[in-house]
Amino acid sequence: MKLKQFGDFQTPLDLARQILQGLGPVGPQWDRVLEPTCGRGNFIRGLLQLDSPPREIIGIEMQDSYYQEAQSLASSSVQIIHGDIFQLNLARALAWKTTGPLLVIGNPPWVTNAEIGSIGGDNLPRKKNIKRLRGIEAIMGPSNFDLAEFIWIKLIQELAVEQATIALLCKTSVVRNLLSYAQQARWPIGKIKIRALDAKKWFGASVGACLLSLQTGMPRANYHAQVLEPLDASARRFTIGFCNGHLVSDQKAYQTVSFLEGASPFQWRQGIKHDAAAILELTRKDGEWFNGKGDRVEVEEEFIFPLLKGSDVQSFHGQPSLPRAVIVPQKEIGQNTRVLQEQAPRLWHYLSDYAGIFQKRKSSIYNNKPPFSIFGVGNYSFSPYKVIVSGLHKSPRFIAVGPVGSKPVFCDDTCYLLPCHSSLQAAVIAALLNHSLAQTFLQSIIFRDAKRPITKTVLRRINLLELARRIPFEDVRETIGSTLSILETSKEKEYPKIINLIEALELHHQTTQPSLFGP
Ligand SMILES: C[S@@+](CC[C@H](N)C(=O)[O-])C[C@H]1O[C@@H](n2cnc3c(N)ncnc32)[C@H](O)[C@@H]1O
């Protein structure tokens, strides 16, 4: 627990040297260098071994053993501070002996506040220190932020008076968050450069990582990131930057499909959230339901709904029955559950038996809510037809689903759904979104190394009407037909009928297009 909360990935000396070489001669460009979380001091070692080292170096480190190790490098030109960077004001607390241009180099912690919270750690900025920073609200909105993001913001703000160059190793997720905050808060930065890095090779970490460098205190801000040669030949090349005010992952591909940027006419929703999978998610064995604890579950059937999880969505091919189900005790958020005592006594009894598990749910969203509350539920969840996509997969597959066993299908909170008023609407929307045009657009805006590449924000950006206009109907006719043949009841299954329906739709599509998607 102790180490994890420090996001500890010490930079190998070879890598530190390679990064310093890439910056060009250090001494002539920068008199002073700050290593804000110096660890055992490999960047400082690398600096001291240069032909032209800087005149002065300050390193900060919190962990005692690393501080002691880095302290062995201390001299009249190198100071190591044993302290917590979150407690120091970098504009005032550093006792520089010299003046002149400043370089900040290093590799801040690789850990999120949520990970620190989950291990009971306390290596977090204090609330009052957070509030002091301008634009910080932007990152305090999301409940999960990386400590490196906070350190970047602190450096950018506190060093804004000096036009410092900051070059830090960090996860690519940190880069995109930072660029978004910077643009929103109009921070005075520029000369942003990115060099991809093979994090597996250097740190044994399976995440996208890079060296991000930028300049603070720029009179004219510029948020375009210039993507340079990767630091290693094995690193995955990526281009990241702002196009039309949006951060995109592949500027070149984006430009070919940018006409799809817009607003979805529909509201995408996240699937059901309950944080009690062992109790609420069921699997069927020999015609009976079992929970995650292996206990047989016998509750009122009307509260049990077929369930698709993210991985099911990727491999779904219109199964007539599903092996998984979810218990849905509420029809809308906050609905009174005590009525279940009367209305569904077996369900109430079942849930009460596991009350302890519900009470232990960590997320504060469950505080002051009726017992056994769930989220991601509303009228839309009960819509018989839906388009569903997994948020966790890099190559999103959109599926059209209809009722299974005459019940609407639910998806878990790793997925997003669009409620549809008919099987036709679901089939058309899924076919359009699976078309190569939509997929190219998605691939150009999503970040494949993100834990959740597809989000509501991403989905909201697809202009479905424009997509429908651009895709020749021939391209989707077959898929729509076969999807409908799966979704519809046997009476409507005959293919010719469906083709007629689609052709009628096409006519409709050409004349009064927007209503194709309306009720
Ligand atoms: C990813 S490691 C990198 C260390 C060093 N910069 C390098 O490149 O080898 C992050 C370092 O940040 C230190 N650290 C974590 N939280 C800190 C804090 N609040 N103040 C100062 N140092 C901290 C850790 O102890 C660890 O040495």
Indicate whether 215 and 306 sit together in one domain.
Answer: no
Residue at 263 is within a domain: no
Residue at 277 is within a domain: yes
Indicate whether 75 and 167 sit together in one domain.
Answer: yes
Contact 70, 40 (CB under 8 A): yes
pLDDT bin (cut points 50, 70, 90) of residue 133 is low
Residue at 248 is within a domain: no
Residue at 119 is within a domain: yes
**Each residue's pLDDT tens digit, 265-291:** 789 999 999 999 999 999 999 999 999
Indicate whether 295 and 233 sit together in one domain.
Answer: no
Indicate whether 226 and 370 sit together in one domain.
Answer: no
86 CA closest ligand 1 atom index: 19
Q: What is the pLDDT of residue 492?
A: 47
Residue 131 pLDDT > 70: no
Number of domains in the chain: 2
Q: What is the pLDDT of residue 3?
A: 63
Indicate whether 58 and 160 sit together in one domain.
Answer: yes
Nearest CA to 464 among 254, 267, 263, 248? 263
Give the separation between CA 243 and CA 250, rounded to whole angstroms.
10
Task: Choose the residue to mutate in 3, 33, 61, 88 for probing ligand 1, maximizing ligand atoms within 8 Å of C-beta.
Answer: 61
What percentage of the chain has pLDDT greater than the value 90?
A: 59
Q: What is the pLDDT of residue 126?
A: 66
Q: Residue whose CA is closest, atom 15 of ligand 1? A: 6
Task: Choose the residue to mutate in 37, 58, 62, 65 for probing ligand 1, maximizing ligand atoms within 8 Å of C-beta.
Answer: 37
pTM: 0.73
Residue 156 pLDDT > 80: yes
Residue at 490 is within a domain: yes
3-state DSSP of 110-140: CCEHHHHHHCCCCCCCCHHHHHCCCCCHHHH
In DSSP terms, 214 is beta-bridged to: 166
pLDDT bin (cut points 50, 70, 90) of residue 116 is confident
Indicate whether 202 and 338 sit together in one domain.
Answer: no
**Each residue's pLDDT tens digit, 350-373:** 999 999 999 999 888 999 999 999
Indicate whether 13 and 116 sit together in one domain.
Answer: yes
Indicate whether 10 and 72 sit together in one domain.
Answer: yes
**Each residue's pLDDT tens digit, 309-353:** 999 999 898 877 889 999 999 999 999 999 999 999 999 999 999
CA of 113 to the centre of ligand 1 (A): 15
CA of 107 to the centre of ligand 1 (A): 7
pLDDT bin (cut points 50, 70, 90) of residue 499 is low
Q: Tell me which residues have their CB closer than 6 angstroms to ligand 1.
A: 6-11, 37-39, 42-43, 60-63, 66, 84-86, 106-110, 123
Which region among 37-46, 298-307, 490-499 has the lowest average model confidence (pLDDT)?
490-499
Q: What is the pLDDT of residue 421?
A: 83
**Domain end marker among 238, 258, 277:** 238
Q: What is the pLDDT of residue 181?
A: 83
Task: Choose the residue to mutate in 34, 40, 62, 174 for probing ligand 1, maximizing ligand atoms within 8 Å of C-beta.
Answer: 62
477: containing domain: 269-516
Indicate whether 209 and 312 sit together in one domain.
Answer: no
Indicate whether 224 and 278 sit together in one domain.
Answer: no
Indicate whether 474 and 392 sit together in one domain.
Answer: yes
